[in-house]
Amino acid sequence: MNISLTPRIFIILVNWNGWQDTIECLHSLDNLDYPNYSVIVVDNGSTDGSPEKISRAFPQVHLIESDQNLGFAGGNNLGIEQALNEGTDYVWLLNNDTVVDPDALSHLVQRMEKDTNIGICGSKLIYYHQRDTIQVLGGGSHNKWLATTNNFGQHQSVETSFNPQQIEENLDFVIGASMLVSRRFLNEVGWLSEDYFLYYEELDWGIRAKPQFSLGFAPESVVYHKEGASTGGNQLQRANRSEKSDYYQLKNRLKFTYKFFPLYLPCAYLSIFYALINRVRRGQWKRIPMIIKLMFTFNK
* Cα angle value 77/143/153 (rounded, 5°): 80
Q: How confident is the model at residue 236, as a pLDDT?
A: 44
For the stretch 141-188, pLDDT in tens is 999 998 899 999 999 999 999 999 999 999 999 999 999 999 999 999
Burial profile 4-37: b = 16 or more Cβ within 10 angstroms, e = fewer: eeebebbbbbbbbbbbebbbbbbebbeebebeeb
pLDDT digits (tens, 9 = 90+) for 180-232: 999 999 999 999 999 999 999 999 999 999 989 999 999 999 999 997 655 55
pLDDT in tens, 27-38: 999 999 999 999
CA geometry: angle 89, 91, 94, nearest 5 deg: 160
Q: How confident is the model at residue 68 (pLDDT cuts 50, 70, 90)?
A: very high
Largest Cα–Cα separation, the chain = 58
3-7, 17-21, 126-130, 148-152: range with lowest mean pLDDT: 3-7
Task: Select the CATH number that applies to the domain covering 9-225 from these four: 3.40.50.300, 3.40.309.10, 3.90.550.60, 1.10.510.10.
Answer: 3.90.550.60
| pLDDT at residue 196 in the model | 94
Domain boundaries, the chain: 9-225, 238-297
DSSP structure class, residue 178 = E
H helix runs in 102-163, sequence order: 104-114
Rounded to an integer, what distance in angstroms lies between the CA atom of residue 230 and that of residue 20? 11
Angle at 204 between CA 287 and CA 111, to 5 degrees: 125
The answer to whether residues 259 and 195 touch, using CB atoms and an 8 Å cutoff, is yes
